[in-house]
Every structure is written in C-alpha cells, then in structure tokens.
Structure 1
C-alpha cells in the first residue's frame, strides 16, 4: 500500500511542489542575509553566488515534471539536502587578499558559466531528484557527465575561500556529500536507458576530468 502511494503521480506531484516551496523559502532567506551583508560592505563573490543559486531556483520552478524518477526516499533526501544546504551559507566579510578575491571571483564566474551552459542544455529537463527527463549530450556534457555539479563545486569553493567559517564549510561539506550521492543515484536510474549508456561510454568522467 505505502509503495503504491509513493509511486502514484499525485503523490509525486505533491513532493515536487513541496520541494519547490522549501527551496524558494530558503532562497528568500539567503537573499535577505546577503543583502544585509552587502549593505555592510559585501563583495562581488556574494553577488555571483546569489546569481548562481537564483538561476538554480528558476530552473527548479520551471522544470518539466516526469513520472520516470526515483521513488526511493533516500534519493529525495539527497536532492533536498544537496539543494538546500548551499542556501544556508552566509557572507563573513573576510574576503582575504586582493589576489585571492580576484582568483576566487574568476573561479566562481567560470563555475557560473559552466552550470548555466548545462542548465540551458537541459532547459526544462532540469531536476533535483534522480529522474530521466531525456538524455542530453551537447554543450558542457561533452566534457563531463555532470557539468552542472562541476559548476556548483567551483562556485562553492570560490565563495568558501573568500568567506571562511565553520558554518559555510559544514554547509558545503554536506552539500558535496549529497551531490556525490545524487550523481550515483542519477546514474543508477539513467543506465537503464541505452542512450545514456552510450553517452557514458563516450564521456568517461562524471565530475572532474581525469579524477572522477
């Protein structure tokens, strides 16, 4: 009975809607804290991060619903934690040297471009929970199988280096673990599709070329 309820389209729609509400609320909290920090002397890294997280939220709100997604509670938990944890970071005002700020700003901009390119390639096929919304192989997907997560990683590293704190390190650490779990969950579901198996055979690495 419980399994049947979980796999019903209505139940999935409710979960999907609930996830969007939670992420929108957390992003609103993030905007509030970042604006306050900016008024007290923010930096370009806070602006880049807001654009990055805001773009992710927009695509979550506009994504196409599919029934071909994971029903496993752990996969939904990974998706929610991986998406929510980065929204809990806060600016510290400790941006470091001018050289560090410049390096991290460039790193974050590159990460932003990579993730936006991935999102525009996916368009409404973008999603948080492991699902098959169609296999995309163009753009940055020619380099790694999960370029969006690679872009997130760059923006998160850049922000953390210029805004170091235990809170931010914990949030991003939890996010990174969840993202790895999401990659594994997504590939477990997608490998049932022959198109994805062909894609995975052509693009060897998941996240970082030559490493993973």
Structure 2
C-alpha cells in the first residue's frame, strides 16, 4: 500500500487493531503479574521479619499500581517507537528492583514522605481513573483534579513515595535504583509529551498548566 493510500499513518503512532491490542495487553499483564509476584514475595518476607511500615507501604503502593494497570483503558493510539516501548517498560518495572535494606526501624521523616507520596497517588489515580498506561499513548486528555497543577501528577507521586522508601531503606543499591527510576520517569514524560502534543486539546492544556512534574521546578 502506498503512503498516499493512508495519509494518516505515522511511523511512530498508529491506531492498533483490536486483536493486536488485546494480544499486547494480555502479554504485558502476564509479565506484570509475574514480576510483581517476585517483588511481593521479597518485600512480604521482609515485612514479616522486621514488621516495618515502609515495607508494608511499598507493597500497598505497587499493588495499587498493578491493579490500575490491569484495568487500564484501551488507548486511542499508542507510540510504536522502540525507544518509547523500552523507556515505558523499564520505567514501569524498575521499581521492583528496590530491596529491603535490613535496618530494624524506619525514620519518622521517611514515613511521612512515603505516606505523602501514597496520598498523592490516591488523588492522581482519582484524577487519571483508568487512563494509566505503560507505553506512551493517548487514552484521553485529563485536565481536572491534580492535572490543574502539573501535567503528570502520577509521576510526582512516584518521586515522593519511592523517595520515602529510599530514606527508610537506605542502601547504595536502593539509592542507585531510585536515581535510575527518576531518570526513566523523566524520559517517559518526554516520550508521552511528544505523542500527546499531537492532540490539539493537549496543546491547549499544556499552555494552561506550565509544569510537567513539580510546580515551580520542572
């Protein structure tokens, strides 16, 4: 088929046929369940050893993420860029690399930060509803709730919540994982922005809400 026969086709964006989309959704859901089972096993074992709030909270955090990923809405269109897929997958699954550090207690500050992050996630999820995704996609433009303040509030909740876990479970490994995750989340934001900026409604939204992640900073 020639390019003129389908002028709406883009090498980086395509409307997925239902069958392909269902196969993709099923494969990612199976992979997510398998990775989460390992993560839950490690963190659960640590919780029943030390009974630390930070371990319980990260289990709640990741369990909530997985639940919303499993019930996510099908996209209107999704990026077909291999780079966007790699960033999306790594940015989603990298959090399971966090490991219990073995300390016997949490810091009050770390618990406050972690609880704040989970609170932000609740508000972000309420604003986002089922429009969460792994690979950059357009699942409808959200402008209410936390989206009145930043364009990517769910990633803001990630930065805060996992930052609190890192404070409570400090180790060179967890600090490295956290820094890698933050970098991947920023890369995911840029990938999503590239795709969403093709939507006029999102362009108008971006003009109203200046900050992508942290008000006054990014």
| Superposed pair shares fold, TM > 0.5 | yes
Gaps in structure 1 of 5+ consecutive residues: none
Matched, 1:145 2:151: yes
Matched, 1:121 2:127: yes
Gaps in structure 2 of 5+ consecutive residues: 2-10
CA RMSD of aligned residues (A): 2.0
CA contact (8 A) 1:42 1:93 kept: no
Runs of 4+ in 1 over 6 A off after TM superposition: none
Matched, 1:84 2:93: yes
TM-score (norm 1): 0.90
Question: Offset at 1:36?
Answer: 1.0
CA contact (8 A) 1:23 1:83 kept: no
Deviations 1:69-91 (A, max 9, x none): 11111111111101111012111
Structure ID, larger Rg: 2
Q: 2:29 aligns with which of 20, 24, 42?
A: 20
Instruction: Give 3-state SS (helix, strand or coil) of 2:77's partner.
Output: coil
Question: Offset at 1:67?
Answer: 4.4
TM-score (norm 2): 0.88
CA contact (8 A) 2:111 2:168 kept: no
After TM superposition, list the pairs within 5 Å mapping 1:198-209 onto structure 2: 198-209=204-215
Deviations 1:29-66 (A, max 9, x none): 11111111112113111111111111110000000112
Aligned equivalents of 2:31, 2:81: Cα separation in 1: 19
Aligned equivalents of 2:59, 2:185: Cα separation in 1: 19
Question: Offset at 1:105?
Answer: 1.0
After TM superposition, list the pairs within 5 Å mapping 1:146-165 onto structure 2: 146-165=152-171
Deviations 1:75-110 (A, max 9, x none): 1111110111101211113266x6xx1111111111
Per mean C-alpha deviation after superposition, the further-off stretch among 164-173 and 154-163 is 164-173
Aligned equivalents of 1:103, 1:18: Cα separation in 2: 39
Aligned equivalents of 1:8, 1:139: Cα separation in 2: 29
After TM superposition, list the pairs within 5 Å mapping 1:24-63 onto structure 2: 24-63=33-72
More helix by percentage = 1
Matched, 1:72 2:78: no
Q: 1:67 to 1:199 in 2, by over 3 A?
A: closer
